Amino acid sequence: MQKGIESLSTIDLSCHHCGDVCDDDGIYIDDYIFCCHGCQSVYQILSDHELSNYYQYATTPGVSRRREGEKTYEYLDDSEIVHRLTTFSEGSLSRVQLELPQIHCSACIWLLEHLHQINDGIRNVTVRFAKRIAHITFDHTRISLRSLVELLDDIGYAPKIHLELLDKGKKTTEIDKVLLYKIGIAGFCFGNIMLLSFPEYLGFKHASHLFYLGYVNIILSTPVLVYAGADYLKSAWKSIVKGRLNVDVPIAIGILALYIRSIVEIISGLGEGYLDSMAGLVFFLLIGRWFQSMTYRSLDFNRNYTAYFPIAATVKCAKEWITKPLQKVMPGDHLLIRNRELIPADGILKIGKGRMDYSFVTGESDIISKEVGDLLYAGGRHMGESIEMVVTKKVDQSYLTQLWSDDIFKHQSISDTSKTVTTISKYFTLVIGMIAVVSFAMWSHIGAGKAIEIFTSVLIVACPCALALSIPFTYGNIMRLLANRGLYLRNVSTIEHLQEIDTIIFDKTGTLTDPHELAIQYHGRVLTEEEKSLIKSGCFHSSHPMSKAVVRHLASQSIIEVDYYKDHIGMGYVARIGTHELKVGSSAYIFGTATSHQQSGVFIEINDEYLGHFKCNHAFRNGASKLIERLGAQYEIGMISGDGQQDKERILSLMPTAKIVSFNQKPKDKLRVIKDLQEEGHKVMMIGDGLNDAGALKQSDVGIVISDAVNNFSPSCDGILAADQFSHLGKYLLYFRCAKRVLYGAFAISLIYNIVGLYYATTGQLSPVVAAILMPLSSITVIVYGVVLSYGVFAWLFANDKTEPSNQ
Amino acid sequence: MQIILLLIIVSLIIAGGFLVVFLWAVRSGQYDDSETPALKVLIEDDMLTHQKPSN
């Protein structure tokens, strides 16, 4: 693709690096235009090192550098931090694993894997696209970790270095290789045993004279039992020791019965045994496990605040600024917070004007101003010139972070085993045991040998392989289908929890409301058409988001030319249009700071007469009222918010049937509200978005996080819902309830197979061929049924829904 | 019928070879990431020399 003079001659003024539209101050270099110096310097670095191919693999592959603040990586000089970040170090070579969220196309991969052209201290870069991770091997005698990170930042791939990395740096979450080994070995043995048993399937009775076939089968099946199937035996043993009967118990009994009886038969020359069935059984079970584990490895459902907090802070020490690892920051330390840096611990503002963005904590995107002496809570991002603060609490004891010291975060309650299957298998095992004993007793008059044969046949044929496969395939498929529609669940047992809930609690800001949409309401004297256009014309010149919202609100008015305009940033503006004097701004700007009731909003004064004010609220998300109405018919609904009461009426009109509507809830209070509901016997689903919901999300039976960018941000939860799919939540819940019926169908099928098998077993007709047909057939029926029907229900439910699947 | 024994041994050795290849592939990390190689396949290393922007 040639992009040069030709494209410049047209009106295409998008930045060559990032594709943003360039303003008048675009920079021209080598016939390309760049929107800012950041983008231009990336281009410069790349073309200096013959890496401008980057721009050939994708059009405008870069990420805009315009809004990037200055970042410092001084803390990477600290040897302890460096040591904890490197995953491997030997001789002069070190290896780090860095998360680069900007990776988004093949050009990114190409560039990062050619970094050695910029600095030959970098030996090797391997990119994991799905996880947005780069594994970098470098020579630390030639390039320090700090220079490496700075280089990445310079070319537009600033790594995300957070506190979490210090603990997780050495732990890589690769896929389960052992499971793949097991599948490979079980598959190999299964195929070969079947092949060797083939003469017998075709009825060549003489084949059994080839006695060594049986011994080859024994050799082949032993690794299946002791390696591939070992987990089932271990799990069954553990569950028996604990006095519980999970689904692995009948499976293990079946596997052992198959193996032992086959060996006895082969050695005593009575028959060929059932080793093909045994290997097939283990193979199918392992495939089921693999299918279930094929979820979104790129998403992390276990994050806490350390995933968002920086590694180090800038601390004043004997009149000098030094960087200090965050864990060592103590109360009384004097911190420097630069633009766009996070407040790492609670403290008091000492010097400067704080402008805090707590969106990360509360979902509220409005910036809050702080004055000297004000309390700064950990988790806020400072947007503005550097400030200085004194720490009052340790990092893990701050208002936000102490939430994680609650007991709920200490024990891992999430298990991967299904409750339904465990309950069923308990009765299943008991019933099968009884049938086996009864048939043993009934056949014992013929002879002990025959009775033992019948007894083992029952155990073999009753092995609930199909039952164990129904959940992985049915629910595993549902998870996959919903992931395409923007709902990512942690594991299949989340679906079971979702089917049980009867109460849904929402967070307000950022969950029910859309952080990007402002809804405007006017309070005050009715405005004339002329006044409306005056206000619109004035606000048109202001860059404040509220002014912009007012302009959008008065869309039908025309804009008049403004004769005089003066902006008081953060306060308001004065303007003169013709003979009219306009004064618009905050209540303090209009009435002065002396008045007692300060309200937020856009206050309007024309010709020294106060007219009224526009109130700005975050609008409810698209489709929220319909969703609430729909959910309200089936579930108890509630709302808990950390904000003040000003929105109470709006919430009550949105959810008139609400069970709980409470405001001013601290993170710990939210957790307690959920706990109280659970103690009343409710199964609660919490839907939230910010770190302040983390406790409630964890405590609830199912915690779902609403996220605008699925890969970016989510506290610990059971599921992540893409924000644009919020209105479909009701349908998803309906789908889960239908899924329960689908699953019961799968149970019924597997039980029917078991009953057929039991008929053969108790009447003494279970030949190896019957077993070899019946067992794989039952598994395959259940798999096909589960996958096809869950897809069918999905297609039927979402047939009229033409929403584009959200891309993560 | 002794030939059957030989055939079985040969077939097991060949199949075992494939098993070893599979285990090696898993071990060497070929199944770790199935997305990145799919994107890299279209990238050629000598593209730069051919397509320098026209000045």
Q: What ipTM did this prediction achieve?
A: 0.83
Number of CB pairs, chain A paired with chain B, less than 8 A apart: 84
- CA A74, chain centre distance (Å): 31
Partners of A3 on chain B (C-beta within 8 Å) are: 53
pTM of the shown model: 0.77
Element (H, E) at A357: strand A354-357
Q: How far apart are CA A51 and CA A44, in angstroms?
A: 10
Structure tokens at A708: 């605008």
Across the interface, whether the CB atoms of B53 and A177 are under 8 A apart is answered: no
Across the interface, whether the CB atoms of B40 and A52 are under 8 A apart is answered: no
Please name which of A359, A410, A224 lies closest in space to residue A690, comparing C-alpha atoms.
A359
Map residue A716 onto helix, strand or coil: coil
Q: Is the predicted pLDDT of residue A233 greater than 90, yes or no?
A: yes
Least trusted range by pLDDT, from A457-466, A549-558, B34-43: B34-43
For residue B54, the chain A residue with the least C-alpha distance is A4
Map residue A500 onto helix, strand or coil: helix
Q: How far apart are CA A766 and CA A526, in angstroms?
A: 88
Sequence spans of domains, chain B? 2-50
Cβ pair A346, A391 in contact under 8 A: yes
The pLDDT tens digits for A67-84 are 555 567 878 887 888 888
A297-302 average pLDDT score: 64
Average pLDDT, chain A: 82
- Give me the residue label for tokens 């020359």: A269
Residue A295: the pLDDT is: 62
Q: Is the predicted pLDDT of residue A317 greater than 90, yes or no?
A: no
Please name which of A160, A152, A170, A168 lies closest in space to residue A95, comparing C-alpha atoms.
A170
Q: How far apart are CA A455 and CA A764, in angstroms?
A: 10
Least trusted range by pLDDT, from A335-344, A357-366, A487-496, A585-594: A357-366
Q: How far apart are CA A333 and CA A731, in angstroms?
A: 52
- Give me the residue label for tokens 């319909």: A626
Across the interface, whether the CB atoms of B51 and A56 are under 8 A apart is answered: yes
Map residue A276 onto helix, strand or coil: helix
Residue A175: the pLDDT is: 56
Question: Which amino acid belongs to residue A101?
Answer: P
Candidate from A56, A174, A210 with C-beta closest to B1: A210
A160-176 average pLDDT score: 63
The residue ranking higher by pLDDT, A593 or A188, is A188
Integer-rounded Cα radius of gyration of chain A? 33
Question: Which amino acid belongs to residue B22?
Answer: F
Q: Would you mind telling me the total number of residues written for chain B in this entry?
A: 55
A714-720 average pLDDT score: 80
Residue A86 forms beta bridges with which residues? A96
Q: How far apart are CA A684 and CA A458, in angstroms?
A: 42
Partners of B26 on chain A (C-beta within 8 Å) are: 177, 180-181, 184
Element (H, E) at A123: strand A122-128
CB atoms within 10 A of CB A334: 16
Quick check: B36 contacting A, CB < 8 Å?
yes
Q: How far apart are CA A227 and CA A231, in angstroms?
A: 8
The torsion angles phi and psi of A524, rounded to 5 degrees, stand at 135, -160
Candidate from A50, A106, A177 with C-beta closest to B40: A106
Partners of B27 on chain A (C-beta within 8 Å) are: 177
Q: Is the predicted pLDDT of residue A18 greater than 60, yes or no?
A: yes
A26-47 average pLDDT score: 80
The pLDDT tens digits for A602-621 are 888 888 888 888 877 778 88
Partners of A2 on chain B (C-beta within 8 Å) are: 51, 53-54
Map residue B43 onto helix, strand or coil: coil
Cβ pair A156, A102 in contact under 8 A: yes
Q: Would you mind telling me the total number of residues written for chain A in this entry?
A: 808
Q: How far apart are CA A259 and CA A186, in angstroms?
A: 14
Q: Is the predicted pLDDT of residue A599 greater than 80, yes or no?
A: no
Q: How far apart are CA A628 and CA A638, in angstroms?
A: 10
Across the interface, whether the CB atoms of B53 and A2 are under 8 A apart is answered: yes
Q: Is the predicted pLDDT of residue A585 greater than 80, yes or no?
A: yes
* β pairing state of A684-688 and A702-707: parallel
* β pairing state of A564-568 and A334-337: unpaired
Residue A771 neighbours by CB under 8 Å, 6+ apart? A274, A277, A460, A461, A757
Element (H, E) at B15: helix B2-27
